[in-house]
Structure 1
């Protein structure tokens, strides 16, 4: 009996996790957005994790872009998520910082005090930003695509793909990212939306 209960518990946990994983990897996205190829897909082949999350923003792409261009911790605008965890406790910027707007391919958007982090691989202002971390044991891409769906309405699509070479050191990190990615990503997308919509309102006042 105890064995059957254990198996039932494992099956329930596995089913719950599978449902959560499916929900978190397509939060806010349409079937078309999930299925369509996006810039940056080519950076991580056969990903272990592939998430497409979307928010619709009451602003033009040009009013969303500045918040993407200045992302990054440690001297940049922050990640607009939980600053205690990904911005060393410093609040993410709530204004457009002019000196951080000239983002170029090859620039680093820091995630660590040593200055390492995401490298900008594709920069098309008002259209898309593709970031990448590449290391011997892991490859991670994060693409931000701006779709203008109506006057003053933009769909911000964020696709994250990663692959780890399984080792005792990387496996716990991979599991933590799989479970925790959505918590941070959702907060980031909502943070960008709030800032962009505030900018749009100020522009029309």
Structure 2
């Protein structure tokens, strides 16, 4: 392959990555949503990474909320496509397609949601305001040993904001705010996690839309 062709291919790859990165920062969200302040933002001041993803779900917030309360590792999953789980999280089970009375929870601040085997990653509930706001917080999503070996830190807030839309459904905004140290790790996380977040967040939004839509249709049947 000649230099000119290599340059064209390289430019195309850089352009594709840049577009994917932008989607990872803000797919589906409006300027107003990205600029707006949510409760829980104050948990991380001066974040090095912020993403906002949004979509409309075909059911009101009170119908969507229980689906969020049953999420987690070896619980209902995260409603992402199965191929995503197999690729990124091979130990995950397939996400649940229905509400499970044994998994639906009355979430309270201080409750934990597992995101891996016991003793690894988990989220702590900071705010649970059904059916409008769920704020999760983690300092545990680092590879084992990195904190002691490299002085690595990852402080992460994951927020789900639900608002009724004008079609009787829900506008769901998913926001990530993170602070990563040291700088080299922050750069690596932003390079890898931001594009991946587009896949995860949009997959979750679509998965939730499909599930709550189907559940609403079944409830409407005589």
TM class by shorter chain equals: 0.7 to 0.9
Aligned to 2:217: 201
- CA, structure 1 residues 14+48, in 2 after alignment: closer, same or farther (shift >3 Å)? farther
RMSD: 2.7
Residue 76 of structure 2 is aligned to residue 91 of structure 1? no
Query: Which aligned pairs between 1:91-110 and structure 2 lie closer than 5 A?
Result: 91-100=94-103, 101-110=105-114
In the TM superposition, residue 141 of structure 1 has moved relative to its aligned partner by 0.9
For 2:22, what is the secondary structure of its paired residue? helix
In the TM superposition, residue 197 of structure 1 has moved relative to its aligned partner by 1.0
TM-score w.r.t. structure 1 length?
0.85
TM-score w.r.t. structure 2 length?
0.79
Verify the 8 A CA contact 2:23 2:195 in the aligned structure 1: no
Aligned to 1:112: 116
1:136-174 CA-partner distances (Å, limit 9, x unpaired) = 601111100111012521101101111210266665444
Q: Distance in 1 between matches of 2:184 and 2:159?
A: 28
Verify the 8 A CA contact 2:73 2:92 in the aligned structure 1: no
Residue 129 of structure 2 is aligned to residue 124 of structure 1? yes
Q: Distance in 1 between matches of 2:11 and 2:49?
A: 21
Q: Distance in 2 between matches of 1:165 and 1:14?
A: 26
**Residue ranges of structure 2 left out of the alignment (5+ in a row):** 141-151
- CA, structure 1 residues 167+150, in 2 after alignment: closer, same or farther (shift >3 Å)? closer
- CA, structure 1 residues 148+18, in 2 after alignment: closer, same or farther (shift >3 Å)? same
Aligned to 1:42: 42
For 1:150, what is the secondary structure of its paired residue? coil
In the TM superposition, residue 175 of structure 1 has moved relative to its aligned partner by 3.0
Q: Distance in 1 between matches of 2:117 and 2:46?
A: 30
Q: Distance in 2 between matches of 1:87 and 1:113?
A: 12
Q: How many residues matched?
A: 203
Q: Distance in 2 between matches of 1:29 and 1:179?
A: 15
Q: Distance in 2 between matches of 1:67 and 1:157?
A: 15
**Residue ranges of structure 1 left out of the alignment (5+ in a row):** none
Residue 61 of structure 2 is aligned to residue 58 of structure 1? no
Q: Distance in 2 between matches of 1:87 and 1:64?
A: 27
